[in-house]
Structure 1
Amino acid sequence: MQTTAKLEDFLKDSTVADLKSKTEIIPIAATDSVADAMKELAKRKILSMPVLDKKKSKYVGIISISDIVIATVFNPAFAKLAKGASAIDKLTREDFKKIIEKSVLNNPVCDLVGMTEEGKNLWAFDEKESLTKVSEYFAQGVHRALISHQKGNPSFISQTDLVRFISKKVKESKDKDVANFLNNSLEKLGYVRKGKKIISVSTTETALAGFRRLLQWQSFRDWNLAALPIVDKDGKVVGNLSESDLREMNAETRLLDLLFVTPLFLKTYCGEMRKPVVVSPETSFVDALDKLISESVHRVWIVDKDSKPIGVFSLSDVISQFTPFAWSHEKVMDGLFTTS
């Protein structure tokens, strides 16, 4: 990806306090059950929450719905009940329920802390910290960070908060070099993967199979894309499978719905399978940035004239242009696309 020294220095005079975001922190006790955590996440319509060790009065990590799904879909018991990973789609709802109740839901939350590198650590910054420093972490796949304030309780900031700030700041800039960069196409900036095929999930596969494929990318060191395109029999993008589709998931019924084919799983949650947000290779950086914000999504798929996926542009891509630390993204993007 193209990055200039001009953009790398763009946030050096801005601090976390400039984001003016104070998302309330809602912790869960390390000794609470995973089932309890799911109820809280669903009740509050959030994807993650910090884990608090009450005895030590300190946060020990983050628990997310993704951690719970990883613990479920990659459970060793699947190998026994499904007779191999290739038979994962043959699991019955009864088999699935037995697995999650016995080996996931009744366990304490602390058992799942560290399922992903991001969950293992709780990144914390002072509100006076430079946004350049924060960007280094967010550019490498960290989605949220805890912020301490001189007055009031700690709060969370997210990638979305930072990207919204970046969008406003670059549009206010009168620097010609910045303006020229914003008008570069996604293809020119290297986001189009020519001659390679993107890893995806088909409309005939179960959501369980899709999330297994998706969540194998959850290692922080290898980059957390957190989404896969859903493609039809012709390879055209018709949907998007992401972590946000797990919001409001509960242990009683919704977790079992992972056995539905992907379109049905999404329709069960949203009433319909939402159309994917797509752009073309010719779309400019600033137009793609605007679409991320206006559509309230974490990424847009870059498609060719036949609506087949040839690239992806995410919040992390935006942030990585404002920090030199983009190497992990480069690495995983090469792995996410295979030679055609």
Structure 2
Amino acid sequence: MQEMKQAKRGGGATMQQSESVRIQGKKVMDMMVDKKRLVEVPYTASLAQTMSTLVANKIVAVPVAAPPGQWIGAGGSMIVESDKQTGAVRKHYIGMVTMLDIVAHIAGEDHLSGGDNITEDLAERMSDPVSSIIGNSFEGLSLWTLNPNTSLLDCMEVFSKGVHRAMVPVDGLEENVSSGVELTESASSYQMLTQMDMLRFLHGHAGELHSILSRSVQDLGADTVQIYAITDRTKLVHAIKCLKAAMLNAVPIVRATDVGQDDHKQLINGRCRKLIGTFSATDLRGCHISSLKSWLGISALAFTEEVESSPLYTDSDMQNRASSRRELVACYAESPLSEVIEKAVTSHVHRVWVVDQEGLLMGVVSLTDVIRVIRHSLLSDSNNR
């Protein structure tokens, strides 16, 4: 390996710098190729209808649209859709609703206690309007847009700070020439750009990022002291509450100890524990309300296995993702960053667990981590030229 590194120095450095320059010249518009029109829901849609929209479109978040002038946008944003010819405002996007928002609502105070009326409680809660739960998670508190002319590096800066998605205007008003992140935007239509979209784009340009992607996971600082986890004995009802309490989209499932010291109703430190699964808010996309009652009392691990038979996984694409999740998307501290990106994109996951040779959990790499490290490396390349 050392000989390979030495062989790439010298003349190869100039080529790598030139490749780095090419990727830095990319813009948001370059990542929007083949993107479809924005999927959204009206503010009057019920949570059940919203979840159906998520399932049908295989997405984990949707913006909420309302009539203009009646709502304050999330984070004070004024993101509107206007008529292309007249400029008249047709709708105002008031926030983003994610699967975690819905999970947090399901896990409301004193709910999911396992009582006889659990199905009725859930049915009632899922009939609530989607506008009532905006802001249940951090992401719902803000709504961002990115101009198509925003540079790749500026876009990476936004995503490296934990913003998971931003709306990109199509045919925006000409006077809006800003290329950065905006809280005010008017366009005739929008598309959505996500962290995963960016990762797919970077994956497609791996050849231009070879020197960066050959770095190990260890360079990301992914080996952490505290890793929130649940055990294989944690019931689904408590796993949902754990996600809500910590505002996490997913947690690793680790093997419970034989001595019985774990609190299976709470998050525990999963470091140096055997990794055996993952429980994610997105797992609930394939769970119909009528099925949830019978599943609440089983373990979250068993639920992740049973939910694979839901309608969500009827097509081959979803079946492949389910299979990937069963296989555990993990890497080693010595694994190159390119392997992490490959696994995240192929399995469509937003985090890759870091384990040792015995399969013990040592850390986690998120899409935010990957984007942050690549951006930092690109900036360093620019400063060294």
Provide the TM-score with structure 2 as the length reference.
Answer: 0.68
Whether 2:65 is the aligned partner of 1:52: answer yes
Offset at residue 11 of structure 1 (A): 5.6
Partners in 1 of 2:101 and 2:44 — Cα distance?
A: 16
More relative contact order in 1 or in 2 (CA 8 Å, sep 6+)? 1
Distance 1:190 1:77, change over 3 A: closer
- TM alignment of 1:96-111, pairs within 5 A: 96-102=118-124, 104-111=125-132
Whether 2:144 is the aligned partner of 1:128: answer no
Amino acid at match of 1:92: G
Whether 2:49 is the aligned partner of 1:15: answer no
1:164 — aligned with what? Answer: 200
Does the 8 A contact of 2:220 with 2:373 survive in 1?
Answer: no
Distance 1:130 1:303, change over 3 A: same
Partners in 1 of 2:117 and 2:297 — Cα distance?
A: 11
Partners in 1 of 2:102 and 2:294 — Cα distance?
A: 13
Offset at residue 10 of structure 1 (A): 8.1
Partners in 2 of 1:8 and 1:228 — Cα distance?
A: 35
Distance 1:297 1:267, change over 3 A: same
Does the 8 A contact of 1:21 with 1:161 survive in 2?
Answer: no
Offset at residue 314 of structure 1 (A): 2.0
Partners in 2 of 1:54 and 1:8 — Cα distance?
A: 45
Partners in 2 of 1:217 and 1:43 — Cα distance?
A: 28
Partners in 1 of 2:245 and 2:39 — Cα distance?
A: 27
2:250 — aligned with what? Answer: 227
Does the 8 A contact of 2:332 with 2:356 survive in 1?
Answer: yes
Offset at residue 245 of structure 1 (A): 1.3
Does the 8 A contact of 1:200 with 1:230 survive in 2?
Answer: yes
* TM-align CA RMSD: 2.8
Whether 2:221 is the aligned partner of 1:190: answer yes
Offset at residue 255 of structure 1 (A): 6.8
Does the 8 A contact of 1:292 with 1:299 survive in 2?
Answer: yes
Offset at residue 233 of structure 1 (A): 2.9
Whether 2:90 is the aligned partner of 1:61: answer no
1:84 — aligned with what? Answer: none
Whether 2:339 is the aligned partner of 1:302: answer no
2:304 — aligned with what? Answer: 266
Offset at residue 12 of structure 1 (A): 4.2
Q: 2:140 aligns with which of 112, 119, 126?
A: 119
Q: Highest CA radius of gyration, 1 or 2?
A: 2
Does the 8 A contact of 1:31 with 1:109 survive in 2?
Answer: yes
Partners in 2 of 1:128 and 1:188 — Cα distance?
A: 31
**Could you list the runs of 5+ residues in structure 1 that have no partner in the other structure?**
1-5, 79-87, 219-223, 325-340
Q: 1:32 aligns with which of 33, 45, 63?
A: 45
Partners in 1 of 2:281 and 2:253 — Cα distance?
A: 14
**Could you list the runs of 5+ residues in structure 2 that have no partner in the other structure?**
1-16, 70-90, 173-187, 258-272, 310-321, 377-385
Partners in 2 of 1:50 and 1:98 — Cα distance?
A: 28
Instruction: Provide, for residues 57-115 of structure 1, a one-character-per-residue CA deviation record: whole Å limited to 9, x for no partner.
Output: 11101122221110111x1233xxxxxxxxx7xx326343343334x223221110111
Partners in 1 of 2:359 and 2:293 — Cα distance?
A: 31
1:338 — aligned with what? Answer: none
Identity of aligned residues (%): 25
Provide the TM-score with structure 1 as the length reference.
Answer: 0.76
SS across alignment from 1:32: coil
Does the 8 A contact of 1:41 with 1:248 survive in 2?
Answer: no
Offset at residue 204 of structure 1 (A): 0.9
Farther off after superposition, 245-254 or 50-59 = 245-254
Instruction: Provide, for residues 21-42 of structure 1, a one-character-per-residue CA deviation record: whole Å limited to 9, x for no partner.
Output: 5133122111222232223333
Partners in 2 of 1:107 and 1:117 — Cα distance?
A: 20
Partners in 1 of 2:55 and 2:200 — Cα distance?
A: 26
